[in-house]
Amino acid sequence: MALRRFDLEAGGDTFAFKPETEEKIAFWRGKYPAEKQRSAVIPMLWLAQKDNNGWLSEPAMREVADRLEMPYIRVYEVATFYTMFRLQPVGKYHVQLCGTTPCQLRGAEKLKEVCRKEIGDIMYVTDDGRLSWEEVECLGACVNAPMVQINDDYYEDLTPESLSQILGKLKNGVEVAPGPQIDRVNSAPEGGATTLTEPSLFDGSRNAITTLPNLPSAEPEAAAEPAPAEKPKTTLIGGGAEKKAETGERPPMVTIDPAAHDDLKRIKGIGPKNEDALNELGIYTFKQIAAWTAENVDWVEDFMSFPGRIEREDWIGQAKTLAEGGETEFSKRVDAGDVPSSQEDED
């Protein structure tokens, strides 16, 4: 970054915006509320610089400060901070040469030599007033490095020869088309695109919208998947309300001669009501209960609304013993008629 010196002498004593600039000033000031007009200081300085042959004189800064009712020092601080504002006269064509790493690696040093040779030192204005140059930081066109900005335009993919030619033409009043100075379109690869080259990408043939999410399909609907079998709804005997177990897996049912079913009340925890409920589920024998899986237990507990009870009372252990022809202390008492609860369910 070059040292920026403010030229107090060159600006004279007065500055006035061009009449045609007033509309732009009104546009920018109109973006801010009355009490925040100072926020327009940067666009105002930019317009002042354009109306002052590309640089900000001291009277130009004062004019901006007066219009925005700002202290002069505040405007000076902004103008001297941002390098987009130039503090001394420049040529009709002012060259900003990017000297940051990508441009440096691609030959910016050689371009500087051209500028020194064709123009002179940094910020020197040629005698005819046409050219000046300075080095700036990255201008955001690194893909096309090395590059320069001349007034408002970028000139990219430069070589010492191409920059020399551009400067020569500008010196002679001949305009030069901005942009890449080689066979490159914008920032595309040199020599043309290397990807996305299929013509159908650009001829509109892919633009037809064939489907949109959630639109009714024109195609006949595919046969719907059969819905998963719903768990059977069963009536809980005694409760009177229809209820369906939500968890676990229903135990297998059997059809059995009622005369041949086991007395499930010999299992501690099963009274007449629960036995009826189990019978309705197709559970008639100790062998069935002995074979219950944990999922079956979950299902029955959920269905009968007594979570944890089957395990706590060890229905399965009791059922295994009884299914093998054995007895439990409880079954002995039931068989002896000593258990009234085998006549009524415990709550």
Residue 148 interacting with ligand FES (CB under 6 A): no
Closer residue to ligand FES in complex, CB, 49/144:
144
Residues that contact ligand FES, how many (by CB under 6 A): 11
The answer to whether 347 and 339 are in contact (CB under 8 A) is no
Which range touches ligand FES (CB under 6 A), out of 132-140, 159-167, 316-324, 338-346?
A: 132-140
Neighbours of 180 (CB within 10 A): 21
Exposure string for 46-79, b = 16+ CB within 10 A, e = fewer: bbbbbbbebbbbbbbbbbbbebbebeeeebbebb
Residue 65 interacting with ligand FES (CB under 6 A): no
Closer residue to ligand FES in complex, CB, 68/139:
139
Least distance to ligand FES, CB of residue 105, Å: 9
Q: Which two tokens stand for residue 298?
A: 């979950």
Residue 145 interacting with ligand FES (CB under 6 A): yes
Closer residue to ligand FES in complex, CB, 68/145:
145
Q: Where are the alpha helices (DSSP H) in 247-338?
A: 272-280, 286-290, 294-304, 309-312, 315-323, 329-335
- Of 234-263, which residues contact ligand FES (CB under 6 A)? none
- Residues 346 and 63: their CA atoms lie apart, in Å, by 98
What is the gyration radius of the CA atoms in the chain, in angstroms? 46
Least distance to ligand FES, CB of residue 113, Å: 17
Give residue 254's Cα distance to chain centre. 58
**Binding flags for ligand FES, 76-115, as an x/- string (CB under 6 A):** ----------------------x-x-xx------------
Closer residue to ligand FES in complex, CB, 124/154:
154
Q: Which two tokens stand for residue 181?
A: 């100075």
Least distance to ligand FES, CB of residue 163, Å: 14
Least distance to ligand FES, CB of residue 107, Å: 11
Sign of CA dihedral 289, 292, 294, 295: negative
Point out which residues bind ligand FES (CB under 6 A).
98, 100, 102-103, 138-142, 145, 147
